Amino acid sequence: MNQQNAIDPVIVEKLEKLVYDEVSFGIMITLRFYESLNLKKIAQLIGKPETTTIRHLKQLLEEDLIDIDAEKTASSWGKFYCLAKAVKAIVEKDDAELQKREQEIAKDLANYKNMTEDKLQEVFIREITSKKSLEETALRIKYSINLNSNIQKMIINSFIEASKELNKLKEEKGVEYIQKNLFLDPADINSTTLFIKYSKARHVMAIVEKFIEFHRGIHQLQRDILKEMDEEKVPEDERKIHLVDLFMGTTDFTYKIKDE
């Protein structure tokens, strides 16, 4: 990594603290996925008043976490905001590390079926205790949960805003006008939550195996779709993002200490 793309530890620390600020964290998530937005759109997506949103935007600008998108602002009405370059570098690094870790986990899973329960316990304990700190692990989990929560809010708020506009149009023009003239961009909202009871480490590994299998399949599909859009020269503003939320976890995290 060259000096220009080096990760700024001060920015990393600021981002970690941001996890606990609902509004500012929500703003950062909208800019991560939409890249460049004005005040009105950001406020709509995070479901907060513009007065509240602009206050947090000013603070994020002062913290060097976001920038004014000069190009977009020059060609549009009002200011447009985007993630700071230092933040984008951190996001890209995290995405790369996530894909690398996914590959490592896939290799580990290839061997778990041949392990005894005691050996699997050793793997679990080594994985947890090898982290820099358990607090850091908890922070990463909190980040992931907040990330998904904010994306879900964006989806719902975007849908609500579109519904209001369509209802207003229906009242003004009538149902027949809508049915005759409406064209919907490809979109979908669905939600599935599953719960699995288990008692052994190998049960967890079997669940994780399915999780990774699906995750890798989605990554491959993502690459295939991107290649198709590139070949068809689909403009960037016609490309949407579809959330595939796969959070897993144990509802009751407990442990025992062996009596030596």
Q: What was the pLDDT predicted at 148?
A: 80
- In the predicted model, residues of the chain with pLDDT beneath 70 are 1-5, 108, 130-137, 255, 259-260
Q: What was the pLDDT predicted at 68?
A: 93
Secondary structure letter of residue 241 according to DSSP:
-
Show Cβ contacts of residue 223 under 8 Å, excluding neighbours closer than 6 positions.
Answer: none
Angle subtended at Cα 11 by Cα 42 and Cα 148, rounded to the nearest 5 degrees: 45
Q: What was the pLDDT predicted at 62?
A: 93
H/E stretch holding 149: helix 134-173
Q: What was the pLDDT predicted at 3?
A: 41
Q: What was the pLDDT predicted at 57?
A: 96
Q: What is the pTM of this model?
A: 0.67
Q: What was the pLDDT predicted at 67?
A: 93
Backbone phi and psi for residue 67, each to the nearest 5 degrees, phi listed first:
-130, 165
Long-range Cβ pairs for the range 63-69 (8 Å, 24+): 63/14, 64/11, 65/11, 65/14, 65/15, 65/18, 65/28, 66/27, 66/28, 66/31, 69/36
d(CA 9, CA 32): 19
Show Cβ contacts of residue 232 under 8 Å, excluding neighbours closer than 6 positions.
Answer: none
Half-sphere exposure of 109 (CA within 13 A, CB side): 17
Smallest CA-to-CA distance from 209 within 100, 119, 106 is with 106
Residue 6 φ/ψ region, left for φ over 0, alpha for ψ in the -120 to 50 degree band, beta for the rest? beta
Q: Give tens-digit pLDDT for 17-72.
A: 888 888 999 999 899 888 899 999 999 989 899 999 999 999 999 999 999 998 88
Query: What burial class does residue 64 get, using C-beta atoms within 10 Å of its C-beta: 0-12 exposed, 13-18 middle, 19+ buried?
Result: middle
Secondary structure letter of residue 78 according to DSSP:
S
